[in-house]
Amino acid sequence: MMRRDRGEARPKDRVGPIHALLGAAALGLLVVPIALAGARAPEAQTSRGAKAPLKSLKRRVAALESRATPAIPNALPPDGPAGGVLQGTYPNPSGLAGDSVGAAQIVDGSVAQAELGAQSVGARQLTATYERVSGGTAAPRGRLVDAVASCNAGDKVLGGGYAWGTPPIDSSTASSTPNVSTGGFDNPDQWAVTAESGIDNTLFAWAVCLRA
């Protein structure tokens, strides 16, 4: 076994254990920051990519908040004056406001006697009616003559009759009926009479008309 002199130099290609340990530690300190930086890069990229959808969502929320929202009752049951087609005050509005229900809101045939209260419909709730009397038609004794009473244009006849200018000693009636001035049988607007008097007389027809 060879012995070295104390002054002999140590070979350059040999490294002691302590040097190897220190070198490994230094390398580890260098690798860790690089690894952490590499790990944070995707996170930063994802955060930047999410900003656009987030801005879009914020704009939608702002648009919804700016829209007018329906009134919400402050108390239950609600109180205060009624609005819209109602009149009175909550919680018990007295009914529908005037002119809030018309023909457009009622289905044909949906209102009959069963839906009406006693004495709930009177003259004020009905369409106005009026009478029309024809001019006098000369009626020589024993001759049939015609007389016609006409409603205003667009109105309908509800009923009618006739009268003599002088009470006759004897008379007969051939017909007393609704009539359509323009032909046909729908929506009559006249009352027509054909009659005969036992004396020279004057015939009048009269009609009860319903305003359209």
The stretch 84-112 carries a mean pLDDT of 77
Instruction: Give 2's pLDDT tier (boundaries 50, 70, 90).
Output: very low
Task: Evaluate if residue 35 carries a pLDDT over 70.
Answer: no
Of 144 and 126, more confident: 144
Residue 173: C-alpha distances to residues 27, 33, 208 (Å)? 133, 123, 19
Buried (b) or exposed (e) across 154-186, using 16+ Cβ within 10 A? Answer: ebbbeebebbbeeebeebeeeeeebbeeeeeee
| Per-residue pLDDT reduced to its tens digit, 57-87 | 888 877 776 665 555 666 677 777 887 778 8
- pTM, whole model, 2 decimals? 0.45
Which of 161, 162, 168, 210 shows the shortest CA–CA distance to 188?
210
Residue 127 is encoded by which pair of tokens?
């369409």
